[in-house]
C-alpha cells in the first residue's frame, strides 16, 4: 500500500511536468494533440493524488503505525474525526492536502471550460501545472508523507502513536484548515485566467466574467477560514482573545485584504473599462500572498502557535515566489498599453472615486500588516537582533484604517456614477448622518467616552442606515407595483439583482462584526487565586469556586473547577472550565467555558491549582462585551456571499428565453 501511494505521488509529479510542457509547447507551436494530452494529464494528476490521499487517510483511520506520519500525528485513543483531521495536522500531510486540492481545482476548471476559452485555456493549464509541479516536488523530494518506520535489528514496531497536537483536537480544527486551504489554493484560478489573458492579449473582460464566481467562492472560503480560526483561538487557547496579530494570523489576513480590494475593483473594469492595471496587480498579489502565507506557516522564520516546526521549506517557497513574481511583473509591464483604461475619472464626488479610495486604503492596511509582520525578520537579518512588533502597533495603525473603510462602505451606495452634486449628497446623507450623530450623543450621555468606540458605533449606524435605505427604496417600489407585502418585495428585489443586494448583505455582516469588535474597548479581566468556597467579583458577576473534580479518559486526564455564577444575588448557573493532560504527548491544555449572551460573554479559564495552597484554584475571568455580534455578523456575511452566487432573476429569465428560442428554431422544419 505504501509503495502504491509513493508511486502515485511520483507519477503525479511526472504528469504535472508533462501537462506544463505539453500545454506550453502546444500553445506556442499550435499543436492540438499536445494541448489535448496536456489537459488529460491534469485529470490524471487529480486521480493519482486522490489515490495517494485516500491511502494516507486510510492509514490514519486504521492506526497503521508503520507509517512515520501516522505514528507522529495519531494514536488509538483519538476520536475518528481527529484521526481524519491529522491529515492536515502535520507538515507532510498538509502539503499533500494542498496538492490534492490544487489538482481538484484544476480538474474542475478544465472540465467546466472544456468547450470555451480555446485561446486562454492552454495558458491556464501552464499556470496551474507549474504550481502543481512545485507542490508535487515538495511531496516527492522534500517532505514525503509516506516514509515508513524502520523495524528490525533491535527496533520494535510502534504499538501506539504520539497523537495529534492537543490544541488541534477541537471540532473547529476539523473545518478551519481545509476552509482556509480552499481559499488559498482556489485563488490560483482567477490568477491563471488573468495571466493567460495577458499572454494572449484577449480583448474585453472575458477572463473576469469567467472567474467572477471563482473569485467570490475562494474569497468566501478565506473568510470562513479566518473566522473559524478566530473562533478556535477564542475557545481553545485560553487567553481570551480571538485575534492577537500573530504572524500566521496576519499571513491569512493579507490575501483576504487584497482579494476584497479585487472584488470591488473588478466591478470598475466590468462597468467602465477602468482599473485594468489595478486588477492585474490585485489578482496577482492575492495569489502570491497566498503562497507567502504558506511560506510563513511552514518555513519557521516566525514564531507562532499556528506555525509548523522549523523546516527546510523556506528556500523552496522563496524560489517559487521569486520566479512567479518576476515573470508576472515583467508580463504586466509588457502589456501596459493593452491595460489602458477606457474611461477617465470625471469627478472626486463619484462612485468611481470611492472604489479608488477603497483600493488605496485596503492596500495601505495590507502594507501596514505586512511590514509589522516582517519587521522582526528584517531587523534580525540586518541588525542581528529580532525586534518584535506587538498588537499595539497593529491596532494603532489599523483601527483608523478600518474606520475609514467602514465609512466608505456607507458612502459608496449613496454617490452616483460619474458625478454627484453637493445638493444630491446632502439629501442622500441627511438621515444617515442625523442617526449617526444622535447615536454618538446618546452613547456619550450614557458614559461611553472612548473616542474610537464612539466613532465606530456611529459609523455602524450610518452604514446600516444607508444599506436599509437601499432595500427600503427598492422594495417599496416593487410592493406598490405588484401589491406585495414588504418582506416579499425585499426578497423579489434581492432576487432581481443578487450581486448588488447580496453585496449589501455582506456589507451589513461586516457592520455587525464591527459592533462586536468595538466591544473590545470595554473588556474586563481578572486573575484570582481562590480557595474552594470563596468568591471573587468581575464586572457585575460574583464567582464562587464550589469544588474541583478530576478524572481521566483513554485520551487524556482532566481536572475541572465547578464555578457558580451569580449576579445581583441571583444564581445564573455553573461554569466548568477544565485542564487536560494528554496521555500520548503529556501536553497540558485548557478547556475554557463561556457563558454567551448577546450583550456580553463571561469567559473562564482554569489556569491551575495553587502552588502554595492545595485548596485554592487559579481562575482567569474575562467579560467580553458584544463578542456574539462578531459571529452573528459572520453568518450574515456568508449568507450575503451565497446570495451573490445565485443567478439574478432577470439574467436567468433572459438566458432561459434565449435557450428556448434556440431549441424552437432547431425544431422548425427546413424550408
- The pLDDT tens digits of the residues spanning 499-530 come to 999 999 999 999 999 999 999 999 999 999 99
**Is residue 379 a part of any domain in this protein?**
no
Tell me the helices (H) and strands (E) count for the chain, helix number first. Answer: 20, 10
Do residues 499 and 531 both lie within one domain? no
8 A C-beta contact, residue 184 and residue 97: no
At 295 the pLDDT is: 87
3 state DSSP class of 407: helix
Angle at 278 (CA atoms; ends 374, 393), nearest 5 degrees: 30
Same domain, 534 and 506: no
Q: What is the pLDDT of residue 152?
A: 56
Same domain, 532 and 510: no
Say whether both 419 and 560 belong to one domain: no
* Co-location of 150 and 6 in the same domain: yes
Residue 250, domain member (yes or no): no
Asked, for residue 623, whether it belongs to a domain, the answer is yes
How far is 85 from 668, CA to CA, in rounded Å? 58
* pLDDT (0 to 100) of residue 602: 96
The answer to whether residue 4 sits within a structural domain is yes
Reported pTM: 0.92
Among 481, 516, 551, the domain boundary falls at 516
Tell me if 586 is assigned to some domain: yes
The series of mean pLDDT values per 10 residues for the chain, 671 residues long, is 93 97 95 94 98 96 93 90 93 95 96 88 96 96 91 66 87 90 94 94 78 92 95 87 88 94 88 87 95 83 59 86 96 90 74 84 93 87 81 92 91 75 80 95 94 96 94 92 90 92 95 96 94 94 95 92 94 95 87 94 94 91 96 96 89 47 48 44
> How many whole angstroms separate alpha carbon 480 and alpha carbon 494?
16
Residues spanned by the domain of 419: 403-516
Among residues 107, 138, 164, the one where a domain terminates is 164
How many beta carbons lie within 10 A of that of residue 82, not counting itself? 25
Rounded to whole angstroms, the maximal C-alpha distance in the chain is 102
β-pairing, 570-575 vs 578-582, is unpaired
Considering the domain architecture, whether residues 60 and 31 belong to the same structural domain is answered as: yes
- Clarify whether residues 604 and 509 are in a common domain: no
Residues 540 and 505 in one domain: no
Q: Is residue 341 part of a domain?
A: no
Q: Which residue among 610, 628, 646 closes a domain? A: 628
Kindly state whether residues 505 and 568 are assigned to the same domain.
no
- Looking at the structure, do residues 478 and 578 belong to the same domain, yes or no? no
Which one, of 446, 452, 414, 415, lies nearest residue 432 by Cα? 414
Q: 10 and 154 share a domain?
A: yes
For 126-169, the DSSP string reads: HHHHHHHHHHHHIIIIIS-TT-B---BTTBPPPSS---S-GGG-
Residue 66 resides in a domain: yes
Is residue 264 domain-resident? Answer: no
Which residues lie below 8 Å from residue 134, measured CB to CB, with a gap of 6+? 316, 320
CA distance 60 to 412: 51
Count the domains in the chain. 3
Q: Do both 43 and 136 map to the same domain?
A: yes
Amino acid at each position: 500500500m505504501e509503495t502504491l501511494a509513493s508511486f502515485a505521488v511520483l507519477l503525479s509529479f511526472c504528469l504535472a511536468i508533462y501537462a506544463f510542457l505539453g500545454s506550453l509547447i502546444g500553445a506556442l507551436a499550435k499543436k492540438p494533440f499536445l494541448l489535448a494530452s496536456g489537459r488529460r494529464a491534469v485529470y490524471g494528476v487529480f486521480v493519482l493524488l486522490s489515490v495517494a490521499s485516500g491511502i494516507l487517510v486510510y492509514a490514519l483511520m486504521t492506526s497503521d503505525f508503520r507509517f512515520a506520519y501516522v505514528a507522529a500525528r495519531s494514536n488509538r485513543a483519538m476520536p475518528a474525526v481527529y484521526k481524519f483531521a491529522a491529515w492536515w495536522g502535520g507538515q507532510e500531510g498538509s502539503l499533500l492536502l494542498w496538492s490534492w486540492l490544487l489538482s481538484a481545482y484544476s480538474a474542475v476548471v478544465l472540465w467546466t471550460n472544456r468547450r470555451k476559452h480555446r485561446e486562454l485555456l492552454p495558458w491556464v493549464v501552464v499556470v496551474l501545472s507549474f504550481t502543481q509541479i512545485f507542490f508535487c516536488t515538495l511531496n516527492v523530494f522534500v517532505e514525503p508523507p509516506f516514509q515508513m518506520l524502520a523495524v528490525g535489528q533491535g527496533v520494535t514496531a510502534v504499538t501506539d502513536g504520539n497523537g495529534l497536537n492537543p490544541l488541534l483536537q477541537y471540532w473547529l480544527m476539523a473545518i478551519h484548515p481545509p476552509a482556509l486551504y480552499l481559499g488559498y489554493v482556489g485563488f490560483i484560478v482567477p490568477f491563471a485566467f488573468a495571466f493567460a489573458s495577458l499572454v494572449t492579449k484577449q480583448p474585453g473582460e472575458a477572463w473576469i466574467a469567467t472567474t467572477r464566481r471563482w473569485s467570490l467562492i475562494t474569497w468566501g472560503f478565506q473568510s470562513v477560514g479566518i473566522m473559524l480560526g478566530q473562533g478556535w483561538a477564542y475557545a481553545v487557547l485560553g487567553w481570551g482573545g480571538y485575534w492577537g496579530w500573530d504572524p500566521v494570523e496576519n499571513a491569512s489576513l493579507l490575501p483576504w485584504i487584497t482579494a476584497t480590494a479585487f472584488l470591488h475593483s473588478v466591478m470598475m473594469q466590468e462597468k467602465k473599462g477602468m482599473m485594468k492595471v489595478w486588477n492585474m496587480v490585485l489578482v496577482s498579489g492575492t495569489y502570491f500572498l497566498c503562497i507567502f502565507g504558506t511560506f510563513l506557516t511552514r518555513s519557521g522564520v516566525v514564531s507562532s502557535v499556528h506555525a509548523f516546526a522549523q523546516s527546510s521549506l523556506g528556500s523552496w517557497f522563496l524560489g517559487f515566489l521569486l520566479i512567479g513574481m518576476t515573470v508576472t511583473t515583467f508580463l504586466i509591464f509588457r502589456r501596459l498599453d493593452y491595460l489602458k483604461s477606457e474611461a477617465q475619472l470625471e469627478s472626486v464626488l463619484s462612485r468611481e472615486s470611492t472604489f479608488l479610495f477603497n483600493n488605496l486604503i485596503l492596500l495601505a492596511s495590507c502594507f501596514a500588516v505586512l511590514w509589522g509582520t516582517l519587521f522582526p525578520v528584517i531587523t534580525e537579518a540586518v541588525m542581528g537582533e529580532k525586534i518584535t512588533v506587538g498588537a499595539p502597533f497593529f491596532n494603532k495603525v489599523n483601527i483608523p484604517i478600518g474606520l475609514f473603510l467602514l465609512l466608505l462602505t456607507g458612502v459608496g451606495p449613496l454617490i452616483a456614477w460619474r458625478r454627484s452634486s453637493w445638493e444630491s449628497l446632502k439629501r442622500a446623507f441627511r438621515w444617515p448622518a442625523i442617526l449617526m450623530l444622535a447615536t454618538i450623543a446618546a452613547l456619550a450621555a450614557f458614559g461611553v467616552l472612548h473616542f474610537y468606540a464612539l466613532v465606530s458605533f456611529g459609523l455602524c449606524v450610518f452604514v446600516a442606515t444607508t444599506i436599509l435605505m437601499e432595500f427600503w427604496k427598492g422594495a417599496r417600489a416593487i410592493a406598490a407595483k405588484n401589491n406585495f407585502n414588504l418582506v416579499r418585495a425585499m426578497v423579489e428585489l434581492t432576487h432581481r439583482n443578487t450581486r448588488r443586494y447580496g453585496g449589501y448583505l455582506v456589507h451589513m455582516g461586516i457592520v455587525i462584526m464591527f459592533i462586536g469588535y468595538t466591544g473590545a474597548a470595554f473588556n474586563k479581566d481578572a486573575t484570582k487565586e481562590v480557595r474552594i468556597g470563596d468568591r471573587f467579583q468581575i464586572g457585575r458577576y460574583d464567582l464562587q469556586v464550589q469544588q474541583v473534580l478530576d478524572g481521566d479518559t483513554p485520551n487524556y486526564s482532566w481536572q475541572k473547577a465547578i464555578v457558580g455564577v451569580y449576579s445581583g444575588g441571583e444564581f445564573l448557573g455553573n461554569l466548568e472550565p477544565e485542564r487536560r493532560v494528554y496521555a500520548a504527548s503529556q501536553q497540558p491544555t485548557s478547556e475554557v467555558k463561556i457563558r454567551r449572551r448577546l450583550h456580553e460573554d463571561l469567559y473562564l479559564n482554569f489556569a491551575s491549582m495553587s502552588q502554595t495552597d492545595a485548596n485554592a484554584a487559579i481562575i482567569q475571568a474575562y467579560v467580553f462585551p458584544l463578542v456574539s455580534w462578531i459571529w452573528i455578523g459572520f453568518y450574515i456575511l456568508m449568507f450575503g456571499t451565497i446570495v451573490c452566487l445565485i443567478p439574478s432573476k432577470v439574467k436567468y429569465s433572459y438566458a432561459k428565453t434565449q435557450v428556448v428560442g434556440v431549441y424552437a428554431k432547431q425544431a422548425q422544419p427546413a424550408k
